[in-house]
Structure formats: structure tokens, C-alpha cells
């Protein structure tokens, strides 16, 4: 019995994934037309839908706003009771509906025409009554819903959401929306911290960091790294240039592979071409440099444009709020 539950859950996800994949193949010039309509207007985009489509509309609004396109949600039932006041002439409207028969949305169409609003539909039925009144149609139809009874708006909901995301990302490309701009819109939380802060603002430097010379004995290296327990030591030349990097792991490997460590020096066991980061890089760049590699690393030496070691940053420093 429990295996049946698991099978149903997997089947649901497979149906939804297939629905999105099919919708992707149907994207065509209509999406380009929708992008052009939105770009042509300097104001905001209004997104509306009722029921589950309304929840999808709210999420699309959030994605648009965070990626450079000002957007607001309009509840279609509240619209005729004063909320139409959010419009300025020419604001495009995105209408989301599975069947395209919602009386609330159909009643909005003539009212929105009075505001000269271009109407973009994300619809599950391209031959619906609502479809006949729209300027641009994006096809969100699905073969079936993901539940066994083919009733709950599951595949249709995620397909509409995916098309909304596709539109938002196309607009990002059209606007050349950068990571720096994304960071300005996300100043809070871990994402905002990673995009907003530079490595130089979060790194350890000066007496906090173990700086040793290539000729420093292994014993002295261990003492230095014990005094500055950050997981690494910068091996530097007299002018401060980074010659290599030592981690706790390098020390352990040296101890396990050498019977007599008394003659070992930092230069003997250091990594001569370590992965580094600059102080002007974002925390997001530092995190990617640590994780996007076959074997993850947890600490990076920080070097300036002249190759001089100025500190180090740990993965723990990135995730400290």
C-alpha cells in the first residue's frame, strides 16, 4: 500500500514535468510579442487570476518584481470594487486561467480596454471565451492533471507558473538585468548578503591570519595555525606575494606520509597554485568558487591584484548573518 503512495507521488511529478516540457516546445513568437508589449510600456505589469490561478499570479508577480519588471497582483473580484485604481493608462495585464471561462476575468476585459491595457493571456484553453478577447496568447494547456482523478489543478498550475517564469526570464535578458541589480532588489537574507557584500568585507586579515614563509618549519606552521585557527595558512614571500597555501588537510597528509617531519618546511607540503579570490569579489562568487569543483574547499586565500596575500575567507564567514 505504501509503495502505491510513492508510485502516485512519482507519477504526479513526472506528469507535471512532461507538461512543462511540452509547453516549452510550444513557446513561439507570442512570447516575444509579450516581451515587446511589456518593454514598450514604462510602467508596471498587472497580473490577475482567480482561485488557484490567482495563487500562481501572485508568484509570477513576485518573480517579475525581483527580476527587474515592476508588477502588481490584481484580484479580479476586488477590481470592480475600487482596485482598478492601481492602473495607469497602458499598463499591460497578464490574465491567468485554466479554462478561460472565469466570469470575473471576462467581466474585466472591457474595463481594462478603457485603460488601454494590452492583454496577455496564460491560458489552458486556446479556444476559450477569454482567449478570443486577448492580444497575446501563451499556451498553458496540459493533457491531464497529475492527480488520479484528473481534477486537481496540479499540472496546469505548474505549467502556467513555468510560462510566467519563462516570460520573466526573457524580460531579464531583454533588459540585460545583472546580478548586481538582482542584489539591490534582495538586500535581506542569505541571498542578499551573498550578492551585496564583498569578500573584503567578510574576510579575515592581519593578525587573525597565519602568514608563514616557504622556509617555515612544519612545527612553526602548526603553531601559527593553532594561534589563528581558521583552517589555513598563507605561505608568502618577503614582499607578501602568495607562494602557496596550507590547509589542515595538508598537515594531516604530511603527518601520515612522512615518518620524520622534522625536516619539512611549509614550501614542501603547500599547494603551490591554490584556488584564490580577490577582495572585490562578491560572497556569491567566493561560494561558487568553493563549491563548483570536483572536491569542495572550505577556505580561500584572498589576494589583491598584485598577487599579494591580504587574508582568507572561510565558507563559515559567508553564511554568518
**CATH code, 291:** 3.10.580.10
182 burial class (0-12, 13-18, 19+ CB within 10 angstroms)?
middle
* Least reliable range by pLDDT among 1-10, 89-98, 151-160: 1-10
What is this structure's pTM? 0.76
Please determine, for residue 320, whether its predicted confidence score (pLDDT) is greater than 70: no
Please state the rounded mean pLDDT for residues 21-36: 97
The predicted-structure confidence for 289-310, as pLDDT tens digits, reads as follows 999 888 888 999 999 999 999 9
The predicted-structure confidence for 61-81, as pLDDT tens digits, reads as follows 999 999 999 999 999 999 989
- 46 located within any domain: yes
pLDDT at residue 1, as a whole number: 82
Give residue 124's pLDDT band: very low, low, confident or very high (50, 70, 90). very high
Distance CA 48, CA 75 (A): 6
Question: Between 178 and 172, where is the model more confident?
Answer: 172
HEC states along 275-305?
CCECCCCEHHHHHHHHHCCCCCCCEEEEECC
Distance CA 30, CA 19 (A): 19
Closest CA to 20 of 126, 167, 142, 150: 142
If asked whether residues 78 and 149 sit together in one domain, one would say: yes
- 140 located within any domain: yes
If asked whether residues 49 and 93 sit together in one domain, one would say: yes
Please determine, for residue 321, whether its predicted confidence score (pLDDT) is greater than 60: no
pLDDT at residue 197, as a whole number: 87
If asked whether residues 263 and 160 sit together in one domain, one would say: no
pLDDT at residue 269, as a whole number: 92
Contact by Cβ (8 Å): 212, 206:
no
Residue with cell string 484553453:
125
If asked whether residues 95 and 223 sit together in one domain, one would say: no
4 burial class (0-12, 13-18, 19+ CB within 10 angstroms)?
exposed
- CATH code, domain with 132: 3.40.50.10490
Averaged pLDDT score across all residues of the chain: 93
Q: How many domains does the chain have?
A: 2
Please state the rounded mean pLDDT for residues 217-228: 94
Over pLDDT 70: what percentage of the chain? 98
The predicted-structure confidence for 233-246, as pLDDT tens digits, reads as follows 999 999 999 999 99
If asked whether residues 213 and 291 sit together in one domain, one would say: yes
Distance CA 103, CA 208 (A): 67
Structural domain range at position 274: 199-318
255 burial class (0-12, 13-18, 19+ CB within 10 angstroms)?
middle
pLDDT at residue 255, as a whole number: 85
Give just the sign of the alpha carbon dihedral 189, 192, 194, 196. negative
- 242 located within any domain: yes
If asked whether residues 87 and 210 sit together in one domain, one would say: no
From residue 172, how far is each of 11, 36, 44, 65, 166 by CA, in Å? 33, 12, 15, 11, 10
Distance CA 147, CA 312 (A): 52
Contact by Cβ (8 Å): 98, 159:
no
pLDDT at residue 259, as a whole number: 81
If asked whether residues 121 and 51 sit together in one domain, one would say: yes
If asked whether residues 158 and 209 sit together in one domain, one would say: no
Question: Which contacts of 245-253 are long-range, i.e. CB under 8 A and separated by 24 or more positions?
Answer: 245/270, 245/271, 245/274, 245/276, 245/301, 246/212, 246/221, 246/270, 246/271, 247/271, 247/297, 247/299, 251/218, 251/221, 251/222, 251/225
Over pLDDT 90: what percentage of the chain? 83
Give just the sign of the alpha carbon dihedral 259, 262, 265, 266. positive
If asked whether residues 215 and 310 sit together in one domain, one would say: yes
Question: Between 162 and 253, where is the model more confident?
Answer: 162
If asked whether residues 98 and 237 sit together in one domain, one would say: no
DSSP code at position 90: T
Distance CA 72, CA 277 (A): 40
If asked whether residues 172 and 210 sit together in one domain, one would say: no
If asked whether residues 83 and 210 sit together in one domain, one would say: no
Amino acid at each position: 500500500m505504501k509503495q502505491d503512495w510513492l508510485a502516485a507521488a512519482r507519477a504526479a511529478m513526472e506528469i507535471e514535468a512532461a507538461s512543462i516540457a511540452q509547453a516549452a516546445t510550444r513557446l513561439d513568437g507570442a512570447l516575444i510579442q509579450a516581451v515587446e508589449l511589456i518593454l514598450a510600456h514604462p510602467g508596471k505589469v498587472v497580473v490577475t487570476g482567480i482561485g488557484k490561478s490567482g495563487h500562481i499570479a501572485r508568484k509570477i508577480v513576485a518573480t517579475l518584481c525581483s527580476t527587474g519588471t515592476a508588477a502588481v497582483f490584481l484580484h479580479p473580484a476586488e477590481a470592480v470594487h475600487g482596485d482598478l485604481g492601481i492602473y495607469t493608462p497602458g499598463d499591460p495585464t497578464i490574465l491567468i486561467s485554466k479554462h478561460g471561462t472565469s466570469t470575473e476575468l471576462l467581466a474585466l476585459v472591457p474595463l481594462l480596454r478603457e485603460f488601454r491595457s494590452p492583454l496577455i493571456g496564460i491560458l489552458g484553453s486556446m479556444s476559450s471565451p477569454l482567449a478570443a478577447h486577448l492580444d497575446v496568447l501563451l499556451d498553458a494547456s496540459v493533457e491531464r492533471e497529475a492527480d488520479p482523478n484528473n481534477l486537481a489543478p496540479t499540472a496546469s498550475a505548474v505549467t502556467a507558473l513555468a510560462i510566467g517564469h519563462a516570460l520573466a526570464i526573457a524580460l531579464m535578458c531583454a533588459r540585460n538585468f545583472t546580478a548586481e541589480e538582482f542584489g539591490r532588489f534582495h538586500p535581506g537574507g542569505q541571498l542578499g548578503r551573498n550578492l551585496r557584500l564583498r569578500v573584503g568585507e567578510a574576510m579575515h586579515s592581519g593578525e587573525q591570519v597565519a602568514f608563514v614563509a616557504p622556509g617555515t618549519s612544519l612545527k612553526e606552521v602548526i603553531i601559527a595555525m593553532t594561534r589563528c585557527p581558521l583552517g589555513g595558512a598563507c605561505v608568502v614571500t618577503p614582499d607578501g606575494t602568495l607562494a602557496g597555501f596550507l590547509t589542515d588537510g595538508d598537515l594531516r597528509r604530511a603527518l601520515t606520509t612522512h615518518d620524520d617531519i622534522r625536516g619539512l618546511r611549509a614550501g614542501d607540503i603547500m599547494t603551490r597554485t591554490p584556488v584564490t579570490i580577490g577582495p572585490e569579489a562578491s560572497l556569491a562568487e567566493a561560494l561558487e568558487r568553493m563549491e563548483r569543483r570536483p572536491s569542495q574547499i572550505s577556505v580561500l586565500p584572498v589576494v589583491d591584484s598584485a598577487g599579494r596575500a591580504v587574508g582568507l575567507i572561510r565558507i563559515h564567514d559567508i553564511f554568518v548573518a
